[in-house]
């Protein structure tokens, strides 16, 4: 699995991420577009934009979208959407004060070294009365993928990774409060992940692992995901994201 704070690691998996995971957060993206009132002409920064699927949705809504990501290959993919993308982490954006109406980070804020510094930096580039919207995986109990990750941890005799502070109920709101930002709305949304066959399941779950590890864990992943088989050859894992929006003052 990818070490989230390692931009080189994200570059390495950029194409795989785009193919296997690029669109699965769409329901969370729609929730935050609606909650922040994004409409034609809204200036939006998507920080940690990955391969650029959200930038494309923003563009289709008529927003003036800009992306930021520290991983060179992610930046290259995101630029292919046809928008400006800067190569930078959330904590230090080469962007002007008050340049945006809305800043978003979907499944990305947890990779910042310091969440408070990152949220304040998003606040710097958003105008007064603009919004910051954060969306992240919800706690493990709301995610079928947790079952598979536990099986992998057991097979490797490792500790199962904890949920982390941004994933639990109220976690994003607490991070906003720590950064001095006023929360205006929050919610939870279903983000199912579907793959058409065992190969995609294994490649998606073990994205970033070397071939030997994939071979070793393949049968563990398939067995653990058995409850999530669909009526065909594929699998659907029911997962959820939590999101929250804060106003910049």
Ligand X SMILES: C[S@@+](CC[C@H](N)C(=O)[O-])C[C@H]1O[C@@H](n2cnc3c(N)ncnc32)[C@H](O)[C@@H]1O
For ligand X, give the closer residue by CB, 21 or 229: 21
| 80-119 positions binding ligand X, by CB under 6 A | 89-90, 106-108, 111-112
Site residues (CB under 6 A) for ligand X, limited to 10-69: 10, 22, 25, 47-50, 53, 69
Q: How far is the CB of 51 from ligand X (least distance, A)?
A: 7
Sole binder of ligand X in the list 7, 119, 142, 202 (CB under 6 A): 7
Give the integer Cα–Cα distance in Å for 93 and 85: 11
CB of 62 to ligand X, least distance (A): 20
In 7-61, where do the E strands start and end? 43-47
Q: Closest residue (Cβ) to ligand X? A: 50
Q: Would you say the C-alpha torsion 205, 19, 199, 240 has a positive or negative sign?
A: positive
Residue 166 found at the interface with ligand X (CB under 6 A): no
Exposure string over 72-99, b if 16+ CB within 10 A, otherwise e = ebbbbbbbebebebbbbbbbebebeeeb
Between the CA of residue 242 and those of 19, 55, 245, what are the distances in Å? 23, 20, 11
For residue 142, give the nearest of 25, 238, 243, 223 by alpha carbon.
238
Q: What is the smallest separation between the CB atom of 46 and ligand X, expressed in angstroms? A: 7
DSSP β-bridge partners for residue 229: 235
- The residues binding ligand X (CB under 6 A) are 4-5, 7, 10, 22, 25, 47-50, 53, 69-71, 74, 89-90, 106-108, 111-112
């Amino acid at each position: 699995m990818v070490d989230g704070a390692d931009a080189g690691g994200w570059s390495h998996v950029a194409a795989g991420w785009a193919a296997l995971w690029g669109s699965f957060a769409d329901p969370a993206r729609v929730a935050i577009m609606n909650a922040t009132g994004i409409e034609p002409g809204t200036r939006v920064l998507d920080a940690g934009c990955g391969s650029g699927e959200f930038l494309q949705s923003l563009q289709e809504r008529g927003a003036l979208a800009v992306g930021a990501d520290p991983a060179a290959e992610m930046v290259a993919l995101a630029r292919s959407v046809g928008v400006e993308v800067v190569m930078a982490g959330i904590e230090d954006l080469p962007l002007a004060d008050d340049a945006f109406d809305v800043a978003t980070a979907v499944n990305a804020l947890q990779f910042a070294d310091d969440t408070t510094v990152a949220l304040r930096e998003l606040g710097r580039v958003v105008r007064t009365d603009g919004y910051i919207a954060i969306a992240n995986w919800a706690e493990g109990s709301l995610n079928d993928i947790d079952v598979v990750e536990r099986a992998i941890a057991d097979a490797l005799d490792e500790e199962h990774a904890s949920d982390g502070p941004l994933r639990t109920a109220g976690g994003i709101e607490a991070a906003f409060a720590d950064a001095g930002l006023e929360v205006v709305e929050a919610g939870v949304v279903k983000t199912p992940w579907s793959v058409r066959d065992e190969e995609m399941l294994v490649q998606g779950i073990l994205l970033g692992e070397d071939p030997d590890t994939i071979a070793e864990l393949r049968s563990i992943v398939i067995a653990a995901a058995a409850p999530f088989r669909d009526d065909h050859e594929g699998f659907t894992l029911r997962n959820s994201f939590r999101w929250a929006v804060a106003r910049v003052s």
